[in-house]
Homo-oligomer: A and B are copies of this chain.
Amino acid sequence: MTDFDLPTYVSPDAPLSPDGLEAALRDIGARRYHNLHPFHRMLHDGELNRGQVQAWALNRYCYQAHIPRKDAVLMARLNSVELRREWRRRIVDHDGEDPGEGSRGGDDGGIERWLRLTTGLGLDRDYVRDMVGILPATKFAVEAYVHFVAEMPLLDAIASSLTELFAPTIISERVSGMLANYDFVDAEALAYFNKRLTQAPRDSGFALDHVRRHALRPDQQQAVLDALIFKCNVLWAQLDALHFAYVAPGIVPPGAFRP
C-alpha cells in the first residue's frame, strides 16, 4: 500500500535546497497523509453506513472546532504584524463573521458549515457542539496539535500546518465520492469542502514559502520534516480510532457516540 520506512532526507552537514526541502515535504505527504488510511478509502468509496459517516463527521467536528484555537495560540507567539494578519485570516475562515456587526456578510465560517454537515447527517446540533460523544483518542490527538503549536519552535509550529498542501486532492475526491455514493449526503451539506478548495492552497502556499525561506540549516530542515510527520500522525490517529470503534473490530469506548 505505501512505504512507511521514510528515507533520510537531511544529512547533518549538507542542507537541502529550498526545492529539495519542498520535495522532501511532499514525499512525506505521499507516504503518510491520511488519504492512504483504509477508513478514508471506505468513506470515499461508499463502503460506510450512515452511522459510520455520522461518527466520522462528529469526531471530525472536534478537530475543526480546535483549529481556530490552534491558530490563535500560534498568532499569540508572532511578533510580526504581517504574519499575524496572515494567520488571522485562517481564524476568520473557521469562525466566520458576526452578521450583526456590519460584516461583509454571508460567510458564517467553516465550523458553522461543518455543523450543517452534521445536521444534514441527522445529528443534533447541540450534541455535536458539546462534544460529549467524541472518541477520547480524537480529543487527545487534537489537543496534541494545539499543544505542539503552543510549545514548539515557531518554524516547526508553522510547518505543522503543511498537511494542507495535500488537502485539495483529498477534498475533491471526497466530495465527488460522497455525493455519488451516499444518498443521505447532498451538496449543501458538503459546502465546507468547497470553501476549503480555495482556502487550503492559499494557506499552505504561504506556509510553504515561509518554510522554504527560513528552514535553512539541516537541523531546522529536519525539525520542519518532523513537524509534518507529527501532523500526519495527528490526522492518521483520528482515523485509526474511528476505524477501531466503528468499523473493525467495532468496539466503542465507554461513553462515546453509538450510532
Binding site for B on A (CB under 8 A): 2, 4, 6, 31-32, 38, 135-137, 139-141, 143-144, 147, 229, 232-234, 236-237, 240-241, 243-245, 247-249, 251-255
Selected contact of A243 from candidates B6, B251, B252, CB within 8 Å: B251
Selected contact of A137 from candidates B32, B141, B143, CB within 8 Å: B141
Given contacts A237-B241, A243-B244, 10 further A-B contacts (CB under 8 A): A31-B254, A135-B237, A140-B237, A229-B255, A232-B254, A233-B255, A236-B254, A240-B244, A241-B241, A249-B249
Contact: A136 with B254, CB < 8 Å? no
Best-surrounded residue of A31, A136, A253, A255 (most CB of chain B within 10 A): A136
This protein's copies in its complex: 2
CA distance A223 to B65 in the complex (A): 23
Q: Using CB atoms, name the residue of chain B closest to A258.
A: B4
Contact: B237 with A136, CB < 8 Å? yes
Contact: B140 with A255, CB < 8 Å? no
Q: Using CB atoms, name the residue of chain B closest to A235.
A: B136
Selected contact of A139 from candidates B144, B229, B244, CB within 8 Å: B144
Q: Using CB atoms, name the residue of chain B closest to A146.
A: B147
> CB-CB < 8 A to A234: which residues of B?
136, 140
**Min C-beta distance of A130 to chain B, whole Å:** 14
CA distance A234 to B241 in the complex (A): 13
> CB-CB < 8 A to A254: which residues of B?
2, 4, 31-32, 232-233, 236
> CB-CB < 8 A to A236: which residues of B?
136, 253-254
Q: Can you report 27 A-B residue pairs in the complex whose CB atoms are below 8 A from each other?
A: A2-B254, A4-B253, A4-B254, A31-B254, A32-B254, A38-B249, A38-B251, A136-B233, A136-B237, A137-B241, A140-B140, A140-B144, A140-B237, A143-B144, A144-B144, A229-B255, A233-B254, A237-B241, A240-B241, A240-B244, A240-B253, A241-B241, A243-B244, A243-B249, A243-B251, A244-B244, A248-B248
Selected contact of A240 from candidates B38, B143, B245, B247, CB within 8 Å: B245
**Min C-beta distance of A121 to chain B, whole Å:** 23
CA distance A244 to B2 in the complex (A): 18
Contact: B233 with A253, CB < 8 Å? yes
Contact: A137 with B240, CB < 8 Å? yes
CA distance A139 to B229 in the complex (A): 14
CA distance A244 to B234 in the complex (A): 16
CA distance A159 to B92 in the complex (A): 38
CA distance A144 to B137 in the complex (A): 10
**Min C-beta distance of A58 to chain B, whole Å:** 16
